Structure 1
Amino acid sequence: MTPEVRLRPVMPDDIEVFFRHEQETEAQRRANFAARPHAEFVLHWTQRIVGDPEVGVRTVEVDGTVAGNVVSWWQDGEREVGYWLGSAFWGRGIGTRALRLYLEVETVRPLRATVDSGNLASIALLRRCGFEEGERVQLENGSYVVLRVR
């Protein structure tokens, strides 16, 4: 049975679920991103994401359960998109469905995604959603692939 994936506005209780997702060791490894301490995480989400009208954000729900989030923001003059799902929701097409739904909400094009070059699952997800691989960039914490959808 195919799970029902839907997007909705972020509710305050969702942030605690997002925090638990960010604490997952394998998720941090794949994203090449160190988890923030709880207070810093909550402050970031309440002020810089949910509290910023320039940021687009939706909670991803699967069969009524919070599975993760999709976020878009301006960075270096381009609109960037990112997503984070709890590991219990990986490998089932949920991220692809969620991002496709989000691309109907976020209409700015081109839209960029920057992914750790070793995160092959995320790169494949983006390609399934119409993103095309572009340049590779070296940042202080690793090598990344930039993908864009037009």
Structure 2
Amino acid sequence: MELTLRTVHDSDLPVFFRQMNDPEAVRMAAFTPKDPADRDAFDAHWKRALASDAVHRTILVDGDVVGSTAVYGEPGEREVTYWIDRAYWGRGIAKAALAALVAEVPERPLYARAAADNAASRRVLEKCGFRVTAHARGFANARGEEIDEVVLVLEG
């Protein structure tokens, strides 16, 4: 398996849109847009995101687009995020992609958040050096309710 990160191309966006409309993936991620199926909102989000100073990368495995990852936010409060196509779960792709991203972005600290019941995402983050520093509650659009979340940090 050859994993690479590259800048996001416009041709990646339809793939990301499809990936972000997988009901099981949406439920697991929990903190998603209000309506993942709203293509106009999706396009507006990506237009803003790609115009920002955030670092957005497409995740490729053997040349196929399998997800995305990013570092975004204000200096000193920047967060990481990632999304992997469910067909590729359980192969170590999320961990490898996130490790590559944090190696590319030397800024520290970096933060992450995950639904407290998303053990797989928490494991990925912890394998990349993130440590749980807080517990919080937040409204999860994908579940239509407030849920527990963990806040993690990657220090220098």
TM range (shorter): over 0.9
SS of the residue 1:13 aligns to: helix
AA aligned to 1:82 is T
When the two chains are superposed, the root-mean-square deviation of aligned CA atoms in Å is 1.4
SS of the residue 1:59 aligns to: strand
Equivalent residue number for residue 120 of structure 1? 119
AA aligned to 1:97 is A
CA distance in 1, matches of 2:14, 2:111: 27
Equivalent residue number for residue 100 of structure 1? 99
Consecutive unaligned residues of structure 1, counting only runs of 5 or more, are none
Moved beyond 2 Å, runs of 4+: none
Q: Deviations over 1:21-42 (max 9, x none)?
A: 1000011111112524111101
The 1:149/1:100 distance shift into structure 2, 3 A limit, reads: same
- Give the CA deviation at 1:51: 1.3
SS of the residue 1:50 aligns to: helix
1:50 correspondence with 2:50:
yes
Identity %: 36
CA distance in 2, matches of 1:4, 1:134: 33
> Which residues in structure 2 correspond to 1:63-82 (within 5 Å)?
63-74=62-73, 78-82=77-81
AA aligned to 1:147 is L
1:39 correspondence with 2:40:
yes
CA distance in 2, matches of 1:51, 1:21: 22
SS of the residue 1:66 aligns to: strand
Does the aligned pair in 1 maintain the 2:76–2:109 contact within 8 Å? no
CA distance in 2, matches of 1:120, 1:43: 31
Consecutive unaligned residues of structure 2, counting only runs of 5 or more, are 140-145
The 1:30/1:75 distance shift into structure 2, 3 A limit, reads: farther
Compute the TM-score of the two structures, normalised by the length of structure 1.
0.92
Equivalent residue number for residue 145 of structure 1? 150
CA distance in 2, matches of 1:93, 1:42: 29
Equivalent pairs, count: 146
SS of the residue 1:78 aligns to: coil
